[in-house]
């Protein structure tokens, strides 16, 4: 302003040197975030040098020092803030004594310096709160994404188990019936006709169940068909298909027969289905027995046959021959674990054939969990 508006004649003339020193007190603010304490020291040193070296115009405005002090309050830990505050108070006292020495100026400088410090701490609290909220939001987003991925993985595993059980059982029955068909055509045409009808019925049922399961994967607006999950009431139909292949099948229920939760009944149906599928594919059995035993807090499913039995050298929980590495028994164990149950396999009664024993918890507390 002194270079634009003429100054009164009784005041010192404006010089570039005096205003250059005033400007020099502002330049350290460029580094205030990286070195707040050194920046404050540089600003105060430049202001002190101005007062000592120049008597010309150009008042060394305190804004640069206030901004530097604000940055110290914002960025530095408590130990450094205390040290800087004590040192700055001494510098302020010396500066006021050098200038006017009045209490009014001292109180004014201390007030504006305290206000700058308070604003710095307030901004620090605001930034910390904002960072905490953002971190919490990011954590919740990650947790929600992880939960969604886990839910999708569980749903994929469930659909895979259902498709395996349906397709494996249906295809196994169809293969057995188709292999027996040519022999029956030559020897017993009536039996051959029944075998082909069983193949068709098994295929139709498998297609219906697959459409129901795959309906949940639809993304268009066409509503997916909804039918109840198969339950214990559908077990006799499974056994009838196996009987149609020439295998003798017995079915028994013991204990207090009662209605069970739909999810548990679906598990019983799938366990029996997978056990019969393994028997048809690998056992070469002529007889199979299915038994459901209702206990007070558990349902035991036992499936035994007189076939080849477990492969030699395998433990009691191993599979049957080369199929033990498949997904069928793994799926059975997963289904049992979902109901806090267990699944054991091994030789049948008297060491003949093969036995599957699955225990499913039916108590309300366990099922609800």
Q: Which of 137, 156, 176 is the last residue of a domain?
A: 137
Q: How far apart are CA 123 and CA 70, in angstroms?
A: 9
Q: For position 244, what pLDDT does the model report?
A: 77
354 located within any domain: yes
- In degrees, to the nearest 5, what angle opens at C-alpha 19 toward C-alphas 17 and 25? 105
Q: Are 347 and 354 in contact (CB under 8 A)?
A: yes
Q: What is the mean pLDDT of the chain?
A: 78
pLDDT digits (tens, 9 = 90+) for 207-263: 766 766 666 565 555 555 555 678 888 889 888 888 877 788 899 999 888 888 888
Query: How many Cβ atoms are within 10 Å of 199's Cβ, its own excluded?
Result: 20
pLDDT band at 125 (very low <50, low <70, confident <90, very high): very high
327 located within any domain: yes
108 located within any domain: yes
Domain total for the chain?
A: 2
* CA distance readout (Å), 295 to 248, 256, 289, 368: 27, 7, 19, 18
Of all residues in the chain, the percent with pLDDT exceeding 90 is 13
168 located within any domain: no
Q: Give which of 331, 323, 355 is closest to 164, Cα–Cα.
A: 331
Q: Strand 248-255's sheet: what is its strand order?
A: 248-255, 287-294, 298-305, 354-361, 342-347
Give the helix/strand (H/E) hosting 248: strand 248-255
- Find the domain containing 129 and state its range: 16-137
Q: DSSP state, 358?
A: E
What does residue 248 show for φ and ψ, rounded to 5 degrees? -80, 130
226 located within any domain: no
The answer on pLDDT for 301 being more than 70 is yes
Q: Which of 102, 137, 172 is the last residue of a domain?
A: 137
Q: Which of 137, 170, 195 is the last residue of a domain?
A: 137
219 located within any domain: no
Q: How far apart are CA 34 and CA 205, in angstroms?
A: 73
Strand 287-294 versus strand 248-255 pairing type: parallel
pLDDT digits (tens, 9 = 90+) for 53-65: 665 454 556 788 8
pLDDT band at 119 (very low <50, low <70, confident <90, very high): very high
Q: For position 225, what pLDDT does the model report?
A: 54
For 345-349, what is the mean pLDDT? 85
pLDDT digits (tens, 9 = 90+) for 17-51: 777 777 778 888 899 888 999 988 888 887 777 76
158 located within any domain: no
For 85-102, what is the mean pLDDT? 78
- Least confident interval from 116-130, 185-199, 255-269: 185-199
Maximum average pLDDT range among 98-107, 156-165, 180-189: 98-107
The answer on pLDDT for 81 being more than 80 is yes
Alpha-carbon radius of gyration of the chain: 43
Q: For position 312, what pLDDT does the model report?
A: 60
Locate 188 and state its tokens.
């017993």
The residues facing 249 across adjacent strands are: 288
For 111-126, what is the mean pLDDT? 91
CATH for 305: 3.30.565.10
- Least confident interval from 181-185, 312-316, 362-366: 312-316
210 located within any domain: no
- Least confident interval from 8-17, 115-124, 134-143: 8-17
């Amino acid at each position: 302003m002194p270079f634009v508006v003429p100054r009164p004649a009784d005041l010192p003339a404006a010089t570039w040197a005096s205003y250059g020193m005033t400007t020099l007190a502002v330049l350290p603010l460029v580094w205030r975030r990286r070195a707040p304490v050194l920046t404050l020291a540089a600003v105060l040193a430049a202001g002190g040098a101005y007062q000592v070296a120049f008597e010309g115009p150009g008042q060394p405005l305190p804004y640069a020092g206030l901004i530097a002090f604000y940055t110290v309050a914002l960025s530095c830990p408590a130990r450094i803030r205390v040290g800087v505050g004590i040192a700055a108070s001494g510098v302020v006292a010396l500066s006021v004594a050098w200038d006017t020495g009045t209490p009014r100026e001292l109180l004014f400088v201390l007030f504006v310096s305290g206000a700058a410090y308070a604003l710095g701490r307030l901004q620090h609290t605001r930034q910390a709160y904002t960072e905490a909220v953002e971190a919490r939001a990011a954590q919740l987003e990650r947790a929600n994404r992880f939960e969604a991925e886990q839910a999708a993985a569980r749903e994929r595993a469930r659909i895979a188990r259902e498709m395996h059980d349906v397709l494996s059982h249906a295809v196994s029955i169809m293969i057995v019936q188709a292999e027996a068909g040519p022999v029956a055509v030559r020897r017993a045409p009536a039996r051959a006709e029944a075998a082909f009808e069983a193949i068709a019925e098994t295929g139709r049922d498998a297609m219906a169940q697959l459409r129901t399961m795959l309906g949940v994967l639809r993304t268009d607006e066409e509503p997916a068909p909804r039918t109840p999950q198969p339950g214990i009431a559908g077990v006799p139909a499974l056994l009838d298909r196996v009987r149609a292949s020439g295998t003798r099948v017995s079915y028994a229920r013991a204990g207090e027969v009662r209605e069970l939760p739909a999810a548990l009944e679906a598990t019983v149906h799938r366990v029996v289905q997978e056990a019969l599928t393994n028997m048809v594919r690998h056992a070469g059995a002529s007889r199979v027995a299915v038994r459901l035993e209702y206990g007070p807090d558990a349902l035991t499913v036992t499936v035994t046959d007189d076939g080849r039995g477990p492969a030699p050298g395998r433990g009691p929980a191993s599979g049957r021959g080369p199929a033990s590495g498949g997904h069928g028994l793994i799926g059975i164990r997963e289904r049992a674990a979902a109901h806090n149950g267990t699944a054991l396999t091994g030789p049948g009664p008297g060491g003949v054939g093969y036995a599957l024993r699955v225990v499913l918890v039916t108590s309300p507390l366990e099922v609800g969990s």
